[in-house]
Structure 1
Amino acid sequence: MQSQTSAQQPVQLPAGIRLIQNQHGRDFLQIDHPAVSARIAMEGAHITHCQPSGQGPLLWISSDEPELPGKTIRGGIPLCWPWFSNTRAGPAHGIARISPWQLTAVSSNADQVSVRMSLANSLIAQALPGEKWQLDVEFVLGSDLMVTLITRNMGEEPQALSQALHSYLPVSGIDQVMVQGLESCTYLDQLTGHLQIQQGPVRFTAETDRIYFNHSGEVRLIDANKQVISVQREGSDSVVVWNPWIEKSLRLSHFASDDYQHMLCIEAANAGPDARILEPGETHRLSSRITRDAADNSAV
């Protein structure tokens, strides 16, 4: 990663925070703070790296990801908005992750860094004719990571919203981890289209693509090496759990054939029956807080 300054800075940046470009010309906000190091792509408002001091990375990114301008990034936290998956016509997972964002505020103190970014109203109007939205994202980075998508209906009619914070988490080996907190929860198996009930912790022996419903509690990723990553959500009654396994890995862009072994997506979402209808003037906040347990915070 090169450290030259990219486009003109839109806001005053505190010490240790700067705009950079990678070797391909993609712009990032680089954060080097005593409490945390992180990197956020300006295109997509896509956080690709977050590592609190003294801990392992909270996010995973593919070993085959070149981070090219104009391309989606495999890893980190893609922002799926204002629709999840292919539930509407247009790009998969909506327009937010493929659009340029504006940096509107950055601040820091001894413990954390806060970043706020906005999607231009003119861009939303062009991409979504007839819809009027205001969209912001907030990142709070320190001993943990909190990401919040803030959506406001700026129109005069109700508008439909589905979304997700598509968080890629690191694991030492996918067949040696389990997910706790979803026991007895109903989920849609998106591979079969069937509803099922989760029996015990979630374990992984094949491709997994599930939306768990009516659930707002903490979800914990337990690794065989005793690492524990917790995901706490707000404004979300659905959670997506995804791993492509072997066969699908070969079809994914920017994804090495063995990358499936080292990642798991646990996503705060408003998906399926948890999709929302926002009334005129209504604001919805979707948040995900990703934390390593203090007792298990050595590097992965």
Structure 2
Amino acid sequence: MIDHLNLTSKRDLSPSVQLMSDEKGVEFVKVQHPKAQACFTLHGAHLIHFQAQDQAPAIWLSKTAIFDNKKAIRGGVPICWPWFGAPAPSLGEGLPSHGFARNSLWQLGDIKEDEQQVVISFTLTDSPATHSLWPHQFELTLTAIISDTLQLSLITKNTGSQPLQYLAALHTYLNISAPEQVEVTGLGPTYIDSLDNKAIKNAAANLTLSGPVDSLYIEPTNIVKLADSGLARELNITSQGHDTIVAWTPWVEGAKSMGDMPDDGYQTMVCLEAAITGNAVTVAPGESHLLSTTIS
């Protein structure tokens, strides 16, 4: 799903990992391991591809996604942090939706691999640029374990002297065969319907896709299942440290309104994202909090 990016190798980082770049100089970290393939951008520590060996891709990427080290990338797993959605008015005006982590340049950390997996970490720390948006000192680490399963762990460490509070999401775009072929279970009994004035509603046992969805399931189970009869597979999404699973698809009109999504892009994706959207997590000085999602 990333062949159209025409990446070229800059150097080997380990036997299975290469630093790549596109024609504009945007840098990518590509994994080619016997267990799976994956690819990240350093812009946002953004996973744009994951495919276990002999399986269809699990992660969806828009064919018209923009890679310019400025705009958030459409598809993959954007990291929404340290707020979800619009920022609180108390933070000020003109701040980016879903925080600044997905629009920041991260540093590549350790890479470890063996016959079973590749482990890669990325870090983002506070700077004058982040202080202009959010007044806290922090160290944010994304650790990815690439194997026949995918695990993404986002660790927020408070390196300052005052408590910090944050909201977040691992905004996971999943690859599907077609909307009518999928069924989602395990989302929980109630949800906030963002398409209906944030009304709290009772959920059906199964979520099927026949129109736009923007729902915050506020009592999720630990494991959400995405059954896809068209791909003859079931994905298990196991999350920790979250209070919400967000289900989202823009559907026809939504896709048409996005310059970085094909008009028919909604037909092969759905977002099921581990998120913190209710009460902000408070992290004391010197402490950390983990938000994670595993796809198997």
**With structure 2 as the length reference, what TM-score do the two structures score?**
0.91
Q: Distance in 1 between matches of 2:31 and 2:181?
A: 32
Alignment partner, residue 227 of structure 1? 233
- The aligned amino acid for 1:82 is P
User: 2:189 matched to 1:188?
Assistant: no
Alignment partner, residue 87 of structure 1? 87
Alignment partner, residue 119 of structure 1? 124
Q: Post-superposition shift, 1:17?
A: 1.1
Q: Post-superposition shift, 1:190?
A: 0.6
Q: Decide whether the 8 Å contact of 2:66 with 2:74 is kept in 1.
A: no
Distance 1:275 1:214, change over 3 A: farther
More strand by proportion, 1 or 2?
Answer: 2
Alignment partner, residue 59 of structure 2? 59
Secondary structure of the corresponding residue to residue 8 of structure 2: coil
Q: Decide whether the 8 Å contact of 2:177 with 2:268 is kept in 1.
A: yes
- The aligned amino acid for 2:69 is P
Q: Post-superposition shift, 1:4?
A: 3.1
State the 4+ residue runs in structure 1 displaced beyond 6 angstroms. none
5+ residue gaps in structure 2? 1-5
Q: Post-superposition shift, 1:52?
A: 1.4
- The aligned amino acid for 1:186 is T
Q: Post-superposition shift, 1:24?
A: 2.4
- What is the RMSD computed on CA atoms of the aligned residues? 1.7
Q: Decide whether the 8 Å contact of 2:125 with 2:137 is kept in 1.
A: no
Q: Decide whether the 8 Å contact of 2:216 with 2:244 is kept in 1.
A: yes
Q: Decide whether the 8 Å contact of 1:239 with 1:267 is kept in 2.
A: yes
Count of equivalent residues: 284
Q: Decide whether the 8 Å contact of 2:186 with 2:220 is kept in 1.
A: no
Q: Decide whether the 8 Å contact of 2:125 with 2:138 is kept in 1.
A: no
User: 2:178 matched to 1:173?
Assistant: yes
Q: Distance in 2 between matches of 1:15 and 1:168?
A: 28
**With structure 1 as the length reference, what TM-score do the two structures score?**
0.90
Q: Post-superposition shift, 1:280?
A: 2.3
Q: Post-superposition shift, 1:66?
A: 4.2
Q: Distance in 2 between matches of 1:3 and 1:266?
A: 31
Q: Distance in 2 between matches of 1:110 and 1:253?
A: 41
User: 2:148 matched to 1:150?
Assistant: no
Percent of aligned pairs with the same residue? Answer: 32
Q: Post-superposition shift, 1:160?
A: 1.6
Alignment partner, residue 295 of structure 1? none
* Structure 1 segment 284-299 matched on structure 2, within 5 A: 284-291=289-296
Q: Distance in 2 between matches of 1:129 and 1:221?
A: 36
- The aligned amino acid for 1:265 is C
Q: Decide whether the 8 Å contact of 1:190 with 1:209 is kept in 2.
A: yes
Alignment partner, residue 74 of structure 2? 74
Secondary structure of the corresponding residue to residue 4 of structure 1: strand
Secondary structure of the corresponding residue to residue 175 of structure 1: helix
Q: Distance in 2 between matches of 1:127 and 1:31?
A: 34
Alignment partner, residue 3 of structure 2? none
Alignment partner, residue 216 of structure 2? 211
Q: Decide whether the 8 Å contact of 1:175 with 1:261 is kept in 2.
A: no
The CA deviation string for residues 133-155 of structure 1, in whole angstroms up to 9 with x for no partner, is 11111000000100011001222
Q: Decide whether the 8 Å contact of 1:78 with 1:165 is kept in 2.
A: yes
Secondary structure of the corresponding residue to residue 151 of structure 1: strand
Q: Distance in 2 between matches of 1:223 and 1:4?
A: 35
Secondary structure of the corresponding residue to residue 260 of structure 2: coil
The CA deviation string for residues 68-98 of structure 1, in whole angstroms up to 9 with x for no partner, is 3322211110000001111335111101000
The CA deviation string for residues 247-267 of structure 1, in whole angstroms up to 9 with x for no partner, is 111112310001101100000
